[in-house]
């Protein structure tokens, strides 16, 4: 199956770019978004717009979801108007959102009960990578189902890593975002600290960016913090959500993420200050001297 019919649910910062990549690769795509206005640019690009997840999934051989959290994913997939109710037997349901492992495994059981397969395939990357097809997919699930969806994944990303059974992709994605969130919070505190000294900020940030701590995260978010440019590439509130999910998942394995708890507190202060819908680099704002 080289060009399966695809349904794509969720057209936010990431989903919109991903769906557009599929259209550009020649796939027949039906889209759904809770806010219909977000579907209009995709309709202009050739997508069919559905009025519900169930309608979108009807007739699709592969159904993708890219939404904010467990609650949004549950609403998309389950219930009388959910995508599982419309999915054909043998369809592959692909959850690309950053979610808890428990919900992903519950979703997989619901898919199997409906005669479908489920692959969890969260991604690393931001809206810019989604737009140009440079995402990295972390996948869990049946290997044969993964091969069915691989052409679509290849249209949206630069790498596909199969990690094991269902939930494996979700788990590694939470570990990844735990590290990113801690790194962003630490960078924010470093930038705010520099700004409270007599150091030349540009010189100090340039040094740190080229030093042992100069990861892509440091370079990217430090530049946005200094600009300042908080145009959303990754919503601040979603990073806080991911840190919470990661802490809960680690606790199940008997691991306490003390650094995640501290980073979560920094992000919560930014949300309380009204920065939740900005880029995650806006976490620096409440730390700055006014």
Say whether 173 is catalytic.
Answer: yes
**Tokens describing residue 60:** 């699709």
* Per-residue pLDDT tens digits for 94-103: 999 999 999 9
Report pTM.
0.96
How much is the pLDDT for 2? Answer: 56
* Per-residue pLDDT tens digits for 113-153: 999 999 999 999 999 999 999 999 999 999 999 999 999 99
Q: What is the DSSP string of 197-256?
A: SSS-HHHHHHHHHTSTT--HHHHHHHHHHHTT----SSBHHHHHHHHHHHHHHHHHTT--
* Per-residue pLDDT tens digits for 29-88: 999 999 999 999 999 999 999 999 999 999 999 999 999 999 999 999 999 999 999 999
How much is the pLDDT for 289? Answer: 80
Domains delineated in the chain: 6-166 (3.40.50.720), 171-287 (1.10.1040.10)
**76 within 8 A of 56, measured Cβ to Cβ:** no
How much is the pLDDT for 46? Answer: 97
* Per-residue pLDDT tens digits for 147-192: 999 999 999 999 999 999 999 999 999 999 999 999 999 999 999 9
What mean pLDDT, rounded, does the chain reach?
97
Task: Give the whole-angstrom CA distance, residue 190 versus residue 266.
Answer: 13
* Per-residue pLDDT tens digits for 13-22: 999 999 999 9
Q: What angle do CA 125, 120, 78 make, to 5 degrees?
A: 115
* pLDDT over 90 at 3, yes or no: no
**108 within 8 A of 166, measured Cβ to Cβ:** yes
Per DSSP bridges, beta strands 157-164 and 135-140 are parallel
How much is the pLDDT for 204? Answer: 98
Q: Which is catalytic among the residues 127, 173, 241, 278?
A: 173
Q: Taking residues 211-226, what's their average pLDDT?
A: 95
């Amino acid at each position: 199956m080289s060009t399966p019919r695809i349904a794509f649910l969720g057209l936010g910062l990431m989903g919109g770019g991903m769906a557009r990549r599929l259209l550009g690769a020649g796939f027949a795509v039906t889209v759904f978004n809770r806010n219909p206005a977000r579907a209009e640019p995709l309709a202009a690009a050739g997508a069919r717009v559905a009025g519900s997840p169930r309608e979108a999934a009807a007739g699709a051989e592969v159904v993708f979801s890219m939404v904010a959290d467990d609650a949004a994913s549950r609403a998309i997939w389950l219930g009388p108007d959910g995508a599982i109710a419309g999915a054909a037997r043998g369809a592959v349901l692909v959850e690309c959102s950053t979610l808890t492992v428990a919900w992903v495994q519950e979703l997989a059981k619901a898919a199997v009960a409906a005669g479908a397969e489920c692959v969890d395939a969260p991604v690393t990357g931001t809206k810019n990578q989604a737009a140009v097809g440079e995402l990295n997919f972390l996948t869990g699930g049946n290997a044969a189902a993964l091969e069915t969806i691989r052409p679509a994944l290849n249209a949206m990303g630069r790498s596909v890593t199969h990690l094991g059974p269902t939930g494996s992709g979700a788990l590694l994605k939470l570990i990844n975002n735990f590290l990113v969130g801690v790194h962003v919070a630490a960078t924010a505190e470093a930038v705010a600290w520099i700004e409270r000294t007599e150091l030349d900020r540009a010189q100090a940030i340039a040094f740190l960016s080229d030093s042992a701590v100069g990861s892509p995260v440091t370079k990217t978010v430090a530049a946005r913090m200094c600009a300042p440019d908080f145009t959303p590439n990754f919503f601040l509130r979603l990073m806080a959500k991911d840190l919470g999910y990661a802490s809960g998942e680690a606790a199940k394995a008997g691991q306490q993420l003390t650094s995640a708890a501290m980073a979560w507190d920094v992000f919560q202060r930014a949300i309380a200050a009204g920065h939740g819908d900005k880029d995650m680099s806006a976490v620096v704002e409440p730390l700055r001297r006014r």
